Structure 1
C-alpha cells in the first residue's frame, strides 16, 4: 500500500468499514480474464481471521468459476464517499472513502449446519436480525465461505481543511 498514512489496522475500525456497506465485489478467474460480481455478503472474524459468506443458486457462472479455481479476490467499499473539492485545481480533487481488499480461498459449505451458520451471518449483516432456517431453506441455496488469507483496509478521512461537496451519485 503506497499511502501508509491511510492504512487501517485496528480490527474494530475494519469491522466498522465492513458494517457500513452490504455489497462485496467478488473477483474470480474466467480463463485469461477476471470476472467480478457484486454480491450481498456477511462476515465474521474467527481467531482474527476474516471470513466472508455469500450465497446464490446452486448452479451458475460464479459457482462454476469457484469450483474450477477457489482463489478469489474481494473488494468492499465503505459507504462514506464524499467529494473533496480541489477548487480550481482538477488534480487536487479526491474523495473521502474506506475500503477493504484481499485475497482468499472460497469453499462450498456442504452440511446443513455450516450453510445455516453462513446464511445466519449473511442475514444478520444485511438486516441486523436473527432468522430461523428450515432444512429446506438451507438446501435451496448454495453457500460459499471465503477465508480471507490477507487483506488491507484503507481510509481517507475528512479533514477540517477539506471542502466537502455532496457525493455526485444519481
Structure 2
C-alpha cells in the first residue's frame, strides 16, 4: 500500500468499516477482462476470520464464474465527502474502504437455510419478523466468501469527525 498513513490495521476497526458498508463488489475471472458484480451481503467473524455471505439466482454469468474458479477479489467502500482544500488548490475524496481476496463455497441444505435465516436476514431485517417463501430458497444460491487476505484504508474527514 503506497499511502501507509491511510492503512487501517486494527481488526476491530476493519470490522466496523465492513459493518457500515451496504454493498460488496466481487471481481471474478472471465477471460481477458474481470467481471465485477455489486451485491448485498452479510458477514460473520470468528476470531480473526471473516466470512461474507451473498445470494442470487442459480443461473447466469455471476453464478457460472463463481463456480468455475472458486476465487474472487472484493471491495466495499463508504464515500464520506469530497474535500476542496482551497489554500492548497487541491481536492481529495474522504472515504473508508476494505478490499481483499476470498475463496467461494456454495452452501446447500441446512447450512444454506441457516445462512439465510440467521445471517443474511438478521443483517437486513433484524427489527422485523419477516417471513419469506421457503420455496424461493430452493431457487436461490447462497455463497460463502472466506476471506484469505484483506486491507483497509481510510482518508478521514479533516478534524477526525467521520
Which range, TM-score by smaller chain?
0.7 to 0.9
Q: CA deviation at 1:24?
A: 0.7
Question: Given the alignment of the two structures, is residue 118 of structure 1 paired with residue 115 of structure 2, yes or no?
Answer: yes
Q: CA deviation at 1:89?
A: 4.9
Residue correspondence of structure 1 range 60-71 to structure 2 within 5 A: 60-71=60-71
What is the SS of the residue equivalent to 1:160?
Answer: coil
TM (norm. structure 2) is 0.87
RMSD, aligned CA: 2.4
* Structure 1 unmatched runs, 5+: 163-170
The whole-number CA distance in structure 2 between the counterparts of 1:161 and 1:10 is 17
CA deviation profile, 1:121-149 (whole Å, cap 9, x unmatched): 12222334475667534323110000010
More strand by share: 2
In the alignment, which residue of structure 2 is the partner of 1:155? 154
In the alignment, which residue of structure 2 is the partner of 1:106? 104
The whole-number CA distance in structure 2 between the counterparts of 1:25 and 1:58 is 18
Residue correspondence of structure 1 range 20-99 to structure 2 within 5 A: 20-78=20-78, 80-87=79-86, 89-90=88-89, 92-99=90-97
Number of paired residues?
A: 160
Structure 1 runs, 4 residues or longer, greater than 3 Å off: 127-135
Kept in 1, the 8 Å contact 2:80–2:157? The answer is no
CA deviation profile, 1:66-89 (whole Å, cap 9, x unmatched): 1111110000012x4201112165
What is the SS of the residue equivalent to 2:34?
Answer: strand
For structure 1, which segment, 61-70 or 126-135, has the greater mean C-alpha deviation from structure 2 after superposition?
126-135
CA deviation profile, 1:78-104 (whole Å, cap 9, x unmatched): 2x42011121655x2112100000001
The whole-number CA distance in structure 2 between the counterparts of 1:85 and 1:20 is 25
* Structure 2 unmatched runs, 5+: none
TM (norm. structure 1) is 0.83
Instruction: Indicate how the Cα distance of structure 1 residues 134 and 155 shifts in structure 2: closer, same or farther if over 3 A, else same.
Output: same
The whole-number CA distance in structure 1 between the counterparts of 2:28 and 2:114 is 24
The whole-number CA distance in structure 1 between the counterparts of 2:23 and 2:104 is 17
Q: CA deviation at 1:159?
A: 2.2
